[in-house]
Amino acid sequence: MTLDLDPERRLALAYAPVAQRQAIETLWRLDVTLGSVLATGREPMISRIRLAWWRESLEKLDSAPPPGEPMLESVARDVLPAGLTGTGLAAMEEGWAALLEPESLAAEELELYATARGGRLFALSARLLGGDEKVAAIGGEVWALVDLARHSGSEAEAAAALAAVLARPLPREWSKNLRPLGMLAMLARHDAERGLPFAPRASPARMLRMFHHRLTGR
């Protein structure tokens, strides 16, 4: 499984300020890395153990050097000097772990996933960008829920995720420094309003919509 960023995240990243771009890219790659634990694990218990290892390893970065793992080395080199903490990053694990419930996701697990994964990821990104973390967090929840719906094998679960998106109000206009995040959040909101089936990622129409948001904030 590739741990590269998808084309839409890459486009959004290209509009982040150069000074913060590497830290944000590493932060987003950490999110992909945590997600890969679920994508490549067949046994939920094994996936829980692996996620717990990532959480503990990230927390330890606040007091010790990385243990020779490339992703952790990148985090220690790119992200922590920018002002984030390993403990703050480790909290994203809780969101991914919420998807390991054996039955269909209940509203509680869906909410935990949205806030702990997407909300925290975008809030930490906003901290790097110098923007409003609360606004960014809502955008991250929307983005994460639509990402879940896009990859879910359950139509009922996807529908529940999209319903949760529509219950979250996004700002009509995003400040300039948060637009790399707004490009993703507004596109996800459009996906939720359009409903299933989703348009393919990185289509020309989607790219134009992202460019429009970058220019106008809407």
End-to-end alpha carbon distance in the chain: 34
Looking at residue 3, its pLDDT comes to 74
Average pLDDT over residues 93-102: 91
71-87: buried (b, 16+ CB within 10 Å) or exposed (e) per residue?
Answer: bbebbbebbbebebebe
- The ranges assigned to domains in the chain are 14-216
Angstrom distances, CA of residue 186 to CA of 44, 123, 139, 143, 199: 32, 16, 8, 8, 15
| Token pair in block for residue 39 | 């994508």
Maximum Cα–Cα distance across the chain: 47
The HSE-up count of residue 157 (CA atoms within 13 Å, CB side) is 20
Burial class (CB in 10 A: 0-12, 13-18, 19+), 108: exposed
Residue-wise pLDDT tens digits, 127-175 = 999 999 999 999 999 999 999 999 988 899 999 999 999 999 998 899 9
More confident residue, 196 or 18: 18
- Find all residues with CB under 8 Å of 36, minimum gap 6, and list them: 1, 3
**Four-CA torsion 64, 68, 72, 74, nearest 10 degrees:** 110
- Find all residues with CB under 8 Å of 203, minimum gap 6, and list them: none
Looking at residue 44, its pLDDT comes to 87
Angle subtended at Cα 122 by Cα 120 and Cα 126, rounded to the nearest 5 degrees: 115
| Token pair in block for residue 78 | 């790119």
Looking at residue 154, its pLDDT comes to 86
| Token pair in block for residue 211 | 């460019």
pLDDT at 2 over 70: no
pLDDT at 1 over 60: no
Q: What is the DSSP string of 46-95?
A: HHHHHHHHHHHHHHHTTTS---S-HHHHHIIIIIGGGT--HHHHHTHHHH
Q: Give me the chain's average pLDDT, please.
A: 94
Angstrom distances, CA of residue 24 to CA of 72, 97, 110, 181: 14, 22, 25, 11
pLDDT level of residue 104 (50, 70, 90 thresholds): confident
